[in-house]
Amino acid sequence: MIRFDQVSKRYEGGHEALSQLSFEVADGEMAFVTGHSGAGKSTLLKLIALIERPSHGQIVLDGQSLSKVRRGGIPRLRRGIGMVFQDHRLLMDRTVFANVELPLVIGAVAPAERARRVRAALEKVGLLDYERQLPASLSAGEQQRVGIARAIVARPKLLIADEPTGNLDPQLAVEIMGLFAEFQQLGTTVLVASHDLPLIKRMKKRVVVLDHGRLVADVAASEVQ
């Protein structure tokens, strides 16, 4: 699903955020990317979503070389990727329903189908009864779950998450990571950037470790202890 081939990224005026990074994530796999602050985790995810472009190397996503995707093709590419952020980025003046519906509106899905899919997504994250509420009336964990429902509502093949549990207490963090594992079981490929090592170890999934932009370890799920 994802292949990085000797990928480097140097921000303008900055040092190298990623250096000659090569790895693959298989279809339907779930993996964590971890490492110290500034190791390059967010940069790696941004390259996948074409929020940033690599300075060198190749990224292939679901058989498509990202270097061939022009600016006009980016929205289409992003529709195939569900993205979850640390600060959920919900629209605070819209209901939970409207927030989750947004990717389907952008994707021009018919209204009746939208409603069906929004409710299915809210049900998966356990928030079916909250659809008429505004995000501000929900707890931090619930808000993050709305963000996850929004990410999966268009049934992306790939789900990427950048520190999705960064603002949550440990119990809620475990629940959120459990949700990601459930989506993997439903066939979605999942890549999560996190610096929460105890939580990562608990999940028993593959772990890719970055250090100053370099891949320094790649631990298979079966080897995580």
Q: Which residues pair with 162 in a beta bridge?
A: 193
Q: Output 100 or 159, the one with its CB closest to ligand ATP.
A: 159
- When asked if residue 41 is in the footprint of ligand ATP (CB under 6 A), the reply is yes
What is the footprint of ligand ATP within residues 2-21 (CB under 6 A)?
11, 14, 17
Cβ burial 1-37 (10 Å sphere, 16+ → b, else e): bbbbbebbbeeeeeebbbbebebebeeebbbbbbbee
Cβ burial 50-84 (10 Å sphere, 16+ → b, else e): bebebeebebbbeeeebeebeeeeeeebbeebbbb
- When asked if residue 39 is in the footprint of ligand ATP (CB under 6 A), the reply is yes
Binding mask 123-162 for ligand ATP (x = CB under 6 A): ----------------------------------------
Count of positions (residues) in the chain: 225
Burial of 135 (0-12, 13-18, 19+ CB in 10 A): buried
Cβ at position 22, least distance to ligand ATP in Å: 17
- In the list 27, 38, 91, 187, the residue contacting ligand ATP (rule: CB under 6 A) is 38
Cβ at position 49, least distance to ligand ATP in Å: 13
Q: Which stretch binds ligand ATP (CB under 6 A): 39-47, 137-145, 173-181, 197-205?
A: 39-47
Cβ at position 25, least distance to ligand ATP in Å: 17
Binding residues for ligand ATP (CB under 6 A): 11, 14, 17, 35, 37-43, 195
